[in-house]
């Protein structure tokens, strides 16, 4: 078993995001608080390890942060839909408790059940997390469950099921709800499906591969569905009226989130399916012993176009707060939405007044207009300086061009300079090249002049006439380019 609460970045993340009385602190396993024991056989831990390129500290942070985000999303969606006391909640296809362990912190008072097809996961849930765990089955008809529930959550199962079991599990789980109960589940939208995924049903694509190493790919692969497919499938299953709500990218900013509510005595208001901020810490640089520079982007998905607040903490000190305003064309292009254009942010933090150690935890979070938060980064400063060195190239408008720089040779505005042997000029001042016409100012090589095999450029081989020579016929005289920046 892995005790991840011993890692400083995980502790800082939990201290910031959990209610104060639920923070585990230095508690031993089994004491009050959030259980932070992770099973090494957990496929999701291995997935986050691969996602972070083998950085265990960041893998633990990613694992915990995704569980926290899901638990927060579930608690908002179920707010006002559970009985005040004695509610029964089932976390179906729960795995090794990535989400389950955080649910009591955000849904206090609910009686928690868990179910999974892996016997090891069921045993882990019982022993380490202390929940009532049920053994699931491959076939929905074989799943024996003596309980009925006020709410069932199914996160990242219908993202893996083929058509036959997709519909059958929906029917089985809806049948386990009490009157007025709620089924909350996630899917991959059809627009995200790769071309290789076969369309086995109208509105459903399936590919026989997934991150799970212990389940057959033909029964647990990767699935993408359209909204029409989900609504049509649910409509064929309900004996009474079923209300269906959908939030695109409502879970982890990737999965579509669906909430299906069975018939109740009074119609309920729409659920709270807010997504909160989305963002990333692109770069962290220690410009000097007293200056920390941070760059990134963030955007509130529930209020696109409005500024998002960025808060930076180092250890227990809040270094600074700022708002998004910088131009980020690359982010807008990635999301195909011009409202992301001004999602960039950057900040220089003075470290003069605080004692800084490389082992201190840097925590950067985005806060939306309605108070929802997203931790963009949590890790030791030393790790941030190593891993957050570069980002997706920032594309500005207009795109990069070639230009003359002061006391420099022809070079791009960004990027490393070419070796001296490959530069158009070897001196800090362009050489004198008198033309046949005796021009007062010879034309210099520009960005569109192609180098010829014999050296030099195509421009140097042909005579040029300047306007001043054409009028006066005076002898040529070289003009210094010092202090000038001439763009082609």
Q: Backbone dihedral region of 253: left (phi > 0), alpha (psi from -120 to 50 degrees) or beta?
A: left
Q: Which residues pair with 77 in a beta bridge?
A: none
Q: Note the pLDDT of residue 290.
A: 87
Q: Note the pLDDT of residue 22.
A: 52
The CATH superfamily label for domain 277-387 reads Immunoglobulins (2.60.40.10)
Q: Note the pLDDT of residue 487.
A: 38
The CATH superfamily label for domain 2-261 reads Vaccinia Virus protein VP39 (3.40.50.150)
Q: 49: which residues sit within 8 A by CB, 6+ positions away?
A: 56, 59
Query: Tokens 């995924």 appear where?
Result: 197
Separation between Cα atoms, residue 256 and residue 155, nearest integer Å: 10
Separation between Cα atoms, residue 93 and residue 124, nearest integer Å: 13
Do 277-387 and 2-261 fall under one CATH topology?
no
Separation between Cα atoms, residue 345 and residue 328, nearest integer Å: 9
Give the chain's mean pLDDT: 80
H or E element in which residue 245 lies: strand 243-251
Low-confidence ranges of the chain (pLDDT < 70): 20-33, 239-241, 264-267, 389-488
Domains of the chain, by residue range, sit at: 2-261, 277-387
448 DSSP assignment: T
**Contact predicate 290/304, CB 8 Å:** no
Work out the widest C-alpha separation in the chain, in whole angstroms.
103
Query: How would you classify the pairing of strands 373-380 and 402-403?
Result: unpaired
**Contact predicate 100/131, CB 8 Å:** yes
CA distances for 11 relative to 5, 99, 226, 362, angstroms: 6, 17, 39, 12
The two three-digit tokens of residue 288, written as one number: 């000097």
- Burial class of residue 155 in the structure, from the number of CB atoms within 10 Å of its CB (0-12 exposed, 13-18 middle, 19+ buried): buried
């Amino acid at each position: 078993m892995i005790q991840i609460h011993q890692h400083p970045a995980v502790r800082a993340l939990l201290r910031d995001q959990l209610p104060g009385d639920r923070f585990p602190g230095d508690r031993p396993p089994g004491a009050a608080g959030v259980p932070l024991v992770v099973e090494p056989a957990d496929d999701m831990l291995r997935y986050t390890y691969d996602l972070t390129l083998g950085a265990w500290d960041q893998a633990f942070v990613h694992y915990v942060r995704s569980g926290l985000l899901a638990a927060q999303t579930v608690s908002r969606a179920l707010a006002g839909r559970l009985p005040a006391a004695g509610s029964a909640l089932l976390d179906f296809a729960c795995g090794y408790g990535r989400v389950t362990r955080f649910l009591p912190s955000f849904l206090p008072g609910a009686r928690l059940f868990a179910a999974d097809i892996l016997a090891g996961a069921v045993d882990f849930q019982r022993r380490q997390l202390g929940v009532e765990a049920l053994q699931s089955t491959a076939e929905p008809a074989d799943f024996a469950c003596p309980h009925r529930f006020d709410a069932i959550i199914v996160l990242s199962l219908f993202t893996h099921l083929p058509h036959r079991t997709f519909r059958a599990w929906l029917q089985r789980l809806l049948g386990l709800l009490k009157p007025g109960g709620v089924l909350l589940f996630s899917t991959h939208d059809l627009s995200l499906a790769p071309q290789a995924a076969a369309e086995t049903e109208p509105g459903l694509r399936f590919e026989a591969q997934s991150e799970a190493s212990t389940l057959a790919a033909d029964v647990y692969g990767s699935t993408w569905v359209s909204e029409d497919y989900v609504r049509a499938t649910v409509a064929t299953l309900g004996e009474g009226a079923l209300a269906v709500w959908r939030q695109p990218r409502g879970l982890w900013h990737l999965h579509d989130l669906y909430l299906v509510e069975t018939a109740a005595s009074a119609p309920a208001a729409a659920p709270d399916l807010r997504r909160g901020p989305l963002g990333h810490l692109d770069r962290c640089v220690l410009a000097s012993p007293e200056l920390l520079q941070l760059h990134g982007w963030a955007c509130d998905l529930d209020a696109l176009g409005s500024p998002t607040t960025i808060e930076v903490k180092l250890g227990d000190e809040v270094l600074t707060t700022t708002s998004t305003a910088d131009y980020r064309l690359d982010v807008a292009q990635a999301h195909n939405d011009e409202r992301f254009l001004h999602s960039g942010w950057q900040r220089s933090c003075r470290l003069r007044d605080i004692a800084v150690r490389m082992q201190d935890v840097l925590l950067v979070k985005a806060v939306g207009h309605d108070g929802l938060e997203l931790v963009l980064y949590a890790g030791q400063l030393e790790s941030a300086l190593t891993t957050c060195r570069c980002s997706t190239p920032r594309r500005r408008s207009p795109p990069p061009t070639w230009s003359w720089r002061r006391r420099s040779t022809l070079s791009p505005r960004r990027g490393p300079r070419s070796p001296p042997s490959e530069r158009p000029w070897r001196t800090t001042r362009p050489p004198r090249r008198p033309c046949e016409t005796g021009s007062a100012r010879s034309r210099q090589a520009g960005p569109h002049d192609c180098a010829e095999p014999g050296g030099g450029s195509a421009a140097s081989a042909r005579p040029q006439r300047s306007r001043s020579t054409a009028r006066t016929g005076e002898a040529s005289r070289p003009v210094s380019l010092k202090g000038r920046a001439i763009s082609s």
